[in-house]
Amino acid sequence: MKLEDVRREYLRGGLKREDLAEDPITQFEAWLKQAIDAEIQDPTAMTVATVNANGQPSQRIVLLKQVNQKGFVFYTNYESRKAKEIEANPLVSLHFPWHMLERQVKICGRAERVSTAESLKYFLSRPEESQLAAWASEQSRPVSSRQVLMQQFNAIKNKFSKGEIPLPDFWGGYRVVPSSIEFWQGGANRLHDRFEYQRQDDNSWEIERLAP
């Protein structure tokens, strides 16, 4: 197989300035709804990119759990690699790859912890097995085998078998407050449509078209 021959045209339609909402969150919510309605797999899946102390970028996929005018929220272990890198450098990037719709959204901004009350509310909404997994997994740390991981899970399950599972003090959410949001729509002949919203000092947004 020749990788240079793997290609396709993007023909689902263009994106015009007049089609865009003046507010990027409104625009994002519209695109997200269309992604959900199209029944694409994991429409809320997004890549989170962080950078360590040596300048080495790292990426992983998480699920978006809330979006509003404040920003984009996901949850994680606060002792994980991503969380440690965020604590050292809160500037992050998010990426939504909606291939089926020939769309991408890229968000750059600053990550900040959500309140404990917000984390607790979401934690209690999770299935019990997911709550137990948050306790059992020492995220990003080496584990010798899956058997050891399951032993930890079963030990936690037994520990909390007779009561409500509490919120771990090492687990919670981050909200990414956006400084820029780019909307990408595939176009024929690689002439894609890209529009970037840039937050201004007065919190208004300026929109400009970018070359593909």
Q: Are 176 and 165 in contact (CB under 8 A)?
A: no
Written as one letter, the residue type at 122 is Y
Q: Using the structure block, give the residue that is written with the tokens 């607790």.
A: 120
Active site residue 190: yes
Nearest to 94 by CA among 143, 34, 52, 47: 47
CA distance 90 to 51: 9
**Token code pair at residue 131:** 């709550």
Burial tier of 37 (Cβ tally within 10 Å: 0-12, 13-18, 19+):
exposed
CA distance 122 to 66: 10
Catalytic, out of 17, 141, 190, 209: 190
The catalytic residues are 190
